[in-house]
Chain A
Amino acid sequence: MESTNTIKRRERVSDSNLLFAIAAVIFVLMYGFGILSFPRDFLQSQTFFDLFNLNAPLIIVTLGLSIVMVGGGIDISVGQVTALVTMCCAVFLQSRSGSVGGAMLLALGIGIAFGLLQGLLIAYLKIQPFIITLAGMFLASGLLTIIHKDPINVTMPSFVRLMDFQIVIPSLGTLNRLGRFIPLEIKPGTVVVLVLVVVLVILMNWSRFGRNLYAVGGNNQSALMLGINVQRTKFYSYVLSGLLSGIAGFVFIMTTGAGNVGNAYGFEIKAIAGSIIGGTMLIGGVGNLIGSPFGALTLLTINELIRADGVNSDFQAIASGMLLCVFIVLQNAVLRLRGTSSFKLALPGWLVPARRDR
């Protein structure tokens, strides 16, 4: 009796992985639905990669926010920091001393600066994260308008070359309506996203910092009793989120090539929604970083579906809200049923990850 119990325990999926599985399955279902109803648009591999090409900044921001949320905090400054970075980079690149490498350093520097400030105030002075990152959001958007108000197009030759750089994969190309062959194009932003996902998943799952962050988010007090430096762990999570906002800003300007006050508007809310759909819980301690891109992509796919359908654009926001609602209810229902232990997940054995998470 005893031994079967331990085996069952080992096979039990952790909350993080279960929520991730739900997100992934729904994304696949939704994309499948897209293929069935609009085969012309959704069967093109370009459509799939355009989700990454055009929305790389949002996915990067979502990753950063997920890290903070796993640690039990929240960072709503991410969107405006991204916008500030795009504007600073645009101004710098257009100035006489501008260089691409310098702009990259500037982007990372601004991101880290915001992360340091917010992390310091939240982790060491124990101020509520919502208020501090709200202040960070105000600060970033205020600085943005102080630096420059009008849109700037970057015309610096070496940067334009970087912007136009694409990885072309002819084997995955498609024929367009006129019958001309168009090879698949992947922007550098997509590569950045993929690299970041791999690096961050390794960091969160196999590094000391990542495991500590899960422990801190799950229960502050017991993490402290285990000898984890709670303050430093939280501090690092905010710095990381700031750094990722900086990277997102640079990828943003690499995609659009312009600094604008309205850049990255509403990213914080979209990123929170994406993280939640991807299975990260706001209470902390639960979340899988592979889920976050899936969450953001699910949100984007439903917008893509509505655009393909050609209905009133107001329904995009309403559909996003409904999707969010369905996910929240589903997640809570599943977690609650698991809590009562009358519910066993009917996954086949080979689908259940062997590694026990938490």
Chain B
Amino acid sequence: MARMKSYGSQLFLPLSVLAILILVNLIKGSSYFSISIINGALYGNIPNILFGASELVILAIGMTLVTSSAGSQDLSVGVAATITSAVFVWVLLSAGKITWITILAAFLASCVVGILIGTFNGALVAALNVQPIVATLIVYTAGRSIAFLIDGKLSPILANNLTYEIGSEIPGVPIQTPIILTAVFVVLFAVLLRTTNLKLYSQSVGINQRAARLNGINPVRIKFLAFMIMGVCTAVAGFIAVTKAGRHDSVNLLKDIEMDAILAVAIGGSSLYGGKFSITGSIIGAYTIEVLNRTLLRLDVDPDAIKAFKAVFIIILMVIASPAVRELAGNGTKWVRDRLGGAVQIPTAIGEDAAVDPKSDISAKKEV
């Protein structure tokens, strides 16, 4: 029964965290959900959150897939996105005239580079059996310098209408373009997972590689594929980030985003050791991180000190979701149910009870 419920409880944790954060925001000021229209575009907290988290969502999706099949994480995502966006800017600026066609061509070029980086990582991980964190450390170490070499240390500026429209909003469309692009990407990815066996295959490779192999799935190919899809994700994220910023800054573009992307996967309830995953959970996790950042800013926390609060938040979240506490909570629920003789229906999803009130469950356990 717990097994059947486990998928529901997987989403319950990120959703309840999100709900608590929104509640805190509502207590702070009731105008949290208000949306105003300025120059035909929507402004407000929710559009800002969707706008701010767009790259993180895309990278978290790719990270989920890599985590699931390879059983470890890709550290190079932020750096790889810096390289792909450097290529994007370089192609665009050397094309001279900026039109929709050149933007498309530059984007495709950056996708190709992203896939190449993915192939490099994938070759090390899948063919040579290197641990993914170790393998992606190579690109992580060298990447920003490579981006420097591509953009010539000049942090080139994208000052024109078309890239501005991609990075913020198209006149007449009320929703900012990065939000639309993210939504399109998520929908495309959902279609990919629905129509192909990718999810099943990568989960089975992640759970037991030998068993997958014996069932006719090629683990090498699946891992390769995961890293190549990750490459496309980095290219899209880099594209959005650089059009948002309007300039290519090799040092600070998407800095430390790999940590947030991994965190999003963990908050979303997928195991960081591979296997079963939930893309929805990772997306919610990514938005939760963005909401958390903005909530801390709203509570007048010093921007430099945000990291410490974030750390405390992560630790609390991980303790609640940890196997030991879950087991304890499960035992507690069982004890309560036994005492009540099944007269009262208690929600049995393990994670739920842990999240709602872990303390009372622990004390209940102690009484036994």
Chain A interface (Cβ within 8 Å of chain B)? 74, 121, 124-128, 130-132, 134-139, 141-143, 145-146, 149, 269, 272-273, 276, 281-283, 314-318, 320-322, 324-325, 328-329, 332-333, 336
Contacts and interface: CB of A to CB of B under 8 A. Distances in A.
Contact of A142 (B141, B309, B318, B324): B309
B323 interface: yes
Contacts of B266: 128, 131
A134 B263 contact: yes
Contacts, number: 132
B263 A149 contact: no
Contact of A138 (B149, B307, B323): B307
Given A128-B272, A317-B142, A321-B139, A143 B315 contact: no
B308 A320 contact: no
Contact of A318 (B131, B145, B308): B145
Given A142-B305, A328-B134, A269 B141 contact: yes
B354 to A, nearest CB: 12
A132 B315 contact: yes
Dominant SS among interface residues on chain B: helix
Given A126-B324, A131-B266, A146 B134 contact: no
Contacts of B312: 135, 139
A124 B308 CA distance: 23
18 contacts: A121-B318, A121-B322, A124-B324, A125-B324, A130-B133, A131-B263, A134-B262, A138-B307, A138-B310, A139-B312, A142-B306, A145-B307, A272-B137, A321-B141, A325-B124, A328-B128, A328-B130, A328-B135
Contacts of B145: 314-318
Given A325-B138, A328-B124, A328-B135, A134 B259 contact: yes
Interface in B318-337: 318-319, 322-325
Interface in B225-242: none
A333 to B, nearest CB: 8
Contacts of A142: 304-311
Contacts of B170: none
Contacts of A128: 266, 271-273, 318
A121 B314 contact: no
B308 A143 contact: yes
A198 B247 CA distance: 51
B43 interface: no
Q: Top 5 A-B pairs ranked by shortest CB distance?
A: A142-B308, A321-B142, A139-B311, A142-B307, A145-B304
Q: Which of A135, A136, A276, A329 has the most CB of B within 10 A?
A: A135
